[in-house]
């Protein structure tokens, strides 16, 4: 599932609202770096959520649309990134 999150993050890096925003790009790059270092996926997601929340606070609760989509995906089904769907389908 690391690869799925990695591919989502890589595709988000090319979005115009991210490429022009150094802070947003840093958030995504940091998460990608942690995935490359084989850090536990739950920790990566937790830190990613924290960084997005901090970004939101620093920008009057406004997020670029790409970060908003990422936040929704991460919050929507936290287990989807860890493969829990396989266990639940049995």
pLDDT in tens, 70-88: 999 888 766 655 554 444 4
Sequence ranges of the domains in the chain: 2-76
Tokens of 58: 């620093």
Q: In whole angstroms, give the CA distance from residue 57 to residue 42.
A: 23
* pLDDT-derived band at 90, boundaries 50, 70, 90: very low
Q: What is the pLDDT of residue 86?
A: 44
Q: In whole angstroms, give the CA distance from residue 84 to residue 89.
A: 9
CATH topology of domain 2-76: de novo design (two linked rop proteins) (1.20.1440)
pLDDT tens track for 24-50: 999 999 999 999 999 999 999 999 999
Q: In whole angstroms, give the CA distance from residue 16 to residue 86.
A: 35
Q: What is the pLDDT of residue 79?
A: 62
Q: What is the pLDDT of residue 75?
A: 84
Q: Are 86 and 80 in contact (CB under 8 A)?
A: no
């Amino acid at each position: 599932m690391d690869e799925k999150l990695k591919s989502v993050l890589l595709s988000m890096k090319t979005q115009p609202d991210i490429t022009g925003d150094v802070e947003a790009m840093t958030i995504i790059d940091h998460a990608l770096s942690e995935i490359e270092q084989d850090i536990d996926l739950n920790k990566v997601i937790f830190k990613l959520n924290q960084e997005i929340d901090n970004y939101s606070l620093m920008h009057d609760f406004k997020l670029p649309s790409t970060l908003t989509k990422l936040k929704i995906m991460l919050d929507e089904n936290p287990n989807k990134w860890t493969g829990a769907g396989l266990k639940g389908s049995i």
